[in-house]
Chains A and B, each alone.
Chain A
Amino acid sequence: MLLIILLGLITSCLLVPLGKYFRSGRSVFLSLLPAGLFAYFASHLSHIGAGNIIYESNKWVPSLGINLDFRLDGLSLLFSLLITGIGTLIFIYASSYLKGHQYLDRFYGYLCLFMSAMLGVVLSDNILLLFTFWELTSISSFFLIGFNNDSTVSRKSALTALGVTGLGGFFLLAGMIMIGEIAGTYTIRELVTSTAIIREHQLYPVVLGLVFMGAFTKSAQFPFHFWLPGAMKAPTPVSAYLHSATMVKAGIFLLARFTPILGGTPEWSYTLMIVGGITMLYAGVHSLFRTDLKGVLAYSTIAVLGVLTFLIGLGTKEALIAASTFIIAHALYKASLFLVTGIIDHQTGTRELTQLSGLRKVLFPVFIAGTLAALSSAGLPLSFGFIGKDLIYEATLAAGPQLAVLLTIVAVSANIGLVAAGFMAGIKPFIGNLPAQLEKVKMPSAAIWLPPLVLGILGFVLGSLPGIVGDYIISPTVQVLSVEAVEFKLKIWHGFNTVLLLSATTIIAGTIVYFFNKPAISKTVFLERFNRYTPHYFFEMSWGAFKRFSSWYTDFMHNGYLRSYLIRIIVFAEILLVYELIRGGPIHIDYSKLIPISIHEGVNVLILLGALYLTVTTTSRLTAVVGTSIIGYAICLMFVFYSAPDLAITQFTIDTLTVVLFVFVLFNLPSFLVIPNSNKSIIVRDGLVAGSFGIILSLTAIKVLQVPTEKGISEFYGEFAYSLARGKNVVNIVLVDFRGFDTMFEIVVLSISALGVYSLIKLKLKTSEKE
């Protein structure tokens, strides 16, 4: 399975050098990749359909618990088939849709990458691995959504999508690590057996919240839904792929994957049902107010995602069956509707519902595809959507006496919105009179109208033969979700009962809504008035505020003047040190332990201080250099006084060499800068900062002197200097033996500095620099 996932990544990498061969119509051959993968997964249907799970494990980072563990079970198979199957059609469609696009090869590269990432998400058996692929979908979808990168709006919506899903990713990572730490394992196979530990852990609500954040952002649940309509700026094949079968379903997949691990508690159920319920109602209503075809589809997609979240939250056997069936039904008709929209946009140049009508006369096969998809979305008998809708109502009706009525009403009203939205997108543009300006619209090539038609027909084929889907896909999926074998049959006809009545009501009400809800610009304008109260507005505001804060902070911190950087660092260090000094309590000095001051030492220090004063105040370079060297020699004497002969010789020689160095370059050095009207207040400020730094360090030094030093290592060195290293000068032993590695690296550093000096000087000034 690793190879299967990597295939897309490899193709994507190969497209970098070979891309130029795939910028033309030849790109259609790339669809062989998803087609082959689809065949691979389809070949496992009977095996997985019988309830088996295939595991595969490869080592990656075993020390962190991250292994390339994969599993192919019903749930994975369902998603893999959707990803590769719809992927194949999208690949074919895109080769015509984006024909002649300058960067068609890149587009396929991103698409392959994205497909691989999605397959990785659904096939992972390790939650950290799942997360890795999860992030990869966010990143690759960023490139897909922002594919028209010369448009500002497109770039911005890609960034919003990445921001929201990426933010969710952070939460998800935290949640997954917590799950792993609580359960002691990161593999899903083992997590399923330790559900009790996780559910009863006191951090369970936190884990749940974190995982939900990941799923809700990805699956565009209220209040994070706003990135999805924005993502409609992407080329239509991308929207069709991302929003029917893949990207947004990843969140749903995550919830499904975690149902056997985290699910079944009241917290899980109520959160999901409430969030899903709000999302589907909110988006269902919203979709009716749109006049842009893709806008309608975007909001109806959000509504469907709400329904799915809601069903997973409900968590009963019926609900899980309904959810898995509805995922397939929705993928089929929504992909088809998106592709139809793309064709209309491609051929007429507009997606405004108010300007489109009568297209059946010029785009007949597209009209058939749109109608089939719309009917499936409405849930007409014989369509797969019908079965999906029926199962939803069955699930809500079986939810228990108190909830059943409420949940059914919510489900029915959301579905009415979906029916109307489906009609608006799939049928509305084709009926009525053909306006004069649309009469010249031509039929596109077969590669572009065939995919939606195939999907539309497939919706009805599966709808007529639900047993196959039910046995081979739905039942192993539900088995994975509820961790037990389930016996059920998907049927076309359930007989005359409440469910059928509800279905009929939904379709009729949806049709009525469709006829009374005339798309009009005024409605969109009306909605815009509420923009200030939407989560999107809040997101934009906080985003803007964050950017303003960042630029203010950068301007404040980085003004390009070395000394202002230094002064901030120093003042900050001062604050930390003062805090530490105050925290440490008062300073005591034990005078009895101090070494008395002898005259020659005192004089030495006085000379040093005098030289220091000279160095700081002088305006002559020569005086300053002399001052510094006097300081060096005085320090050398100090080393002599305090039993450090090695240091004394080193300091002496180095100081001499430094003087020579200065002598060599002194006359090439600039004389001290004299700032004509130097500001007194700056000197005072710097003096204060420097002075206080000196005082603080002195106090710190006294403070440290109070603490008895830990002599363990020194004593070790002293004791073993001779027995281990056969030497008597411990300083030298430390340098060449005990800490030889340090010395080795030190001479390497020294050599580098010599090389640096050498090359800086020998490097000939470039002609441009000489000027």
Chain B
Amino acid sequence: MKSVILQSASRYLLPILLLFSVFLLLRGHYYPGGGFVGGLVAAIAFVLHSLAFGTAETMKMLQFTPLSIIPVGLIIAAISMLLPVFFGLPVMTGLWIEQPIPVVGLVGSALFFDIGVYLVVIGVVLTILFTISLETH
């Protein structure tokens, strides 16, 4: 499946798709998008790369196993969930920084929760697809 067209296309598509996925993630609170969708798009970006160059190549580029992203995501989500407890509020209370940050907008604990979801989804999808693909070829 190593076609030159696909390779050169995916070389440019990968950063664009990743950027798009971050965009989807960040605006999820206001427009369609969010952690799940963003994570899936990011995963597709890497899968596309692996289809063009082979999974081993993509793994080399990533420099870490997708499996290791899962705990990172879970921990971020869990921390953002438990963070209000340290302020004496019930678990999962939304905490917000009052000043909006340029481009991103309002930043709050819900955003970090979404980032956790985003990372878990990337980790899960890539773990599943890459282990299967590496084992098959």
Residues of A near any B CB (own CB < 8 A): 645-646, 649-650, 653-654, 656-657, 660-661, 664-665, 667-668, 724-729, 731-733, 735-737, 740-741, 743-744, 747-748, 750-751, 753-755, 757-758, 761-762
Cβ of B19 within 8 Å of any chain A Cβ, yes or no, is no
Q: Which residues of B contact A728 (CB under 8 A)?
A: 29-31
- Known A-B contacts: A732-B34, A735-B36. Give 12 more (CB < 8 A): A649-B24, A650-B36, A653-B40, A664-B129, A664-B136, A665-B136, A724-B94, A731-B34, A733-B110, A750-B124, A754-B124, A762-B131
Q: Which residues of A contact B81 (CB under 8 A)?
A: 740-741, 744
- Nearest residue (CB) in A for B106 is A726
Chain A residue at minimum C-beta to C-beta distance from B32: A645
How far, in Å, is A356 (CB) from chain B's closest CB?
78
| Cα–Cα, bound, A17→B116 (Å) | 49
CB pairs A–B below 8 angstroms (30 shown)? A646-B34, A649-B32, A649-B37, A649-B40, A650-B37, A660-B129, A664-B136, A724-B94, A725-B29, A726-B94, A726-B110, A727-B110, A728-B30, A732-B34, A735-B34, A735-B36, A735-B117, A736-B28, A736-B34, A736-B35, A736-B113, A736-B114, A737-B110, A741-B92, A751-B70, A751-B74, A754-B123, A754-B124, A757-B127, A758-B128
Q: A650-B37, A744-B81 are in contact. Are A661 and B128 (CB under 8 A)?
A: yes
Residues of B within 8 Å of A661, CB to CB, are: 128-129, 132
Contacts of A727 in B (CB 8 A): 29-30, 110
Tell me whether A750 and B44 are in contact in the complex, defined as CB-CB below 8 angstroms, given that A740-B81, A744-B81 are known contacts: no
A761 to B133, CA, bound (A): 10
Verify A729–B36 contact, CB threshold 8 A. no
Please state if B92 and A758 are interface contacts (CB–CB under 8 Å).
no
Alpha-carbon gap, A646 to B24, bound state (A): 10
Could you tell me the distance between the alpha carbons of A653 and B37 in the complex, rounded to whole angstroms? 8
Number of residues on chain B facing chain A (CB within 8 A)? 48
Most buried by B among A656, A665, A751, A757: A751
**Which residue, of A661, A736, A758, has the highest number of chain B Cβ atoms within 10 A?**
A736
The 8 closest A-B pairs by CB, nearest first: A645-B32, A653-B40, A727-B29, A754-B124, A732-B34, A747-B120, A754-B127, A728-B30
Q: Which residues of A contact B70 (CB under 8 A)?
A: 751, 754-755
B18 at the interface (CB under 8 A from A): no
In angstroms, Cα B22 to Cα A526, docked, is 93
- Kindly list chain B residues whose C-beta atoms are within 8 Å of the C-beta of A649: 24, 32-33, 37, 40-41
Q: Point out the residues of chain B lying under 8 angstroms from A754, CB to CB.
A: 67, 70, 123-124, 127-128
Q: Which residues of A contact B108 (CB under 8 A)?
A: 726
Which B28-63 residues have C-beta < 8 A from chain A? 28-37, 40-41, 43-44, 47, 51
Expressed in whole angstroms, the Cα–Cα distance for A653 and B21 within the complex equals 12
Q: Are A660 and B40 in contact (CB under 8 A)?
A: no
B131 touches A758 (CB 8 A): yes
Whether B125 sits at the interface, judged by CB under 8 Å, is yes
B26 vs chain A, min Cβ distance (A): 11
Inter-chain contacts of B78 with A (CB < 8 A): 744
Q: Which has the most chain B C-beta neighbours within 10 Å: A667, A733, A740?
A: A740
Q: B29 near A757 (CB under 8 angstroms)?
A: no
Evaluate contact between B120 and A751: CB separation under 8 angstroms.
yes
Residues on the B chain within 8 Å of A750, using CB = 120-121, 124
Asked if A758 and B127 make an inter-chain contact with CB atoms under 8 angstroms apart, the answer reads yes
Question: Could you tell me the distance in whole angstroms from the C-beta of A470 to the nearest C-beta in chain B?
Answer: 67
What's the nearest-Cβ distance from chain A to residue B23, in Å? Answer: 12
Do B124 and A753 touch across chains, with their CB atoms under 8 A apart? yes
Smallest CB separation, B68 vs chain A (Å): 11
- Chain A neighbourhood of B36, CB < 8 A: 650, 735
Q: Hey, which chain B residues are within 8 Å of A762, CB to CB?
A: 131
Are the C-beta atoms of B33 and A740 separated by less than 8 Å? no
Q: How far is the CA of A727 from the CA of B31 in the complex (A)?
A: 9
Choose from A653, A732, A753, A757 the contact partner of B132 (Cβ within 8 Å).
A757
Please name all residues of chain A whose beta carbon is closer than 8 Å to the beta carbon of B34 when the two chains form the complex. 646, 729, 731-732, 735-736
Find chain B residues with CB under 8 A from A737 CB: 92, 94, 110, 113
Q: Which of B79-137 contact A (CB under 8 A)?
A: 81, 92, 94, 96, 106, 108, 110, 113-114, 116-117, 120-121, 123-125, 127-129, 131-133, 135-136
> Could you give, for residues 1-38 of chain B, a 1 whenever the CB lies within 8 Å of some chain A CB and a 0 otherwise?
00000000000000000000000100011111111110
Knowing A657-B47, A727-B110, A747-B74 touch, does A646 contact B124 (C-beta < 8 A)?
Answer: no
Indicate the member of B36, B78, B94, B116 with the most A CB atoms within 10 Å: B36
Which residues of the other chain, A, contact B37 by a CB distance below 8 angstroms?
A: 646, 649-650, 653
Tell me the minimal C-beta distance from B76 to chain A in angstroms: 10
Assembly CA distance A761 to B135 (angstroms): 7
- Taking A653-B41, A657-B125, A747-B117 as contacts, is the C-beta distance between A732 and B94 under 8 angstroms? no
B47 shortest CB reach to chain A, Å: 6
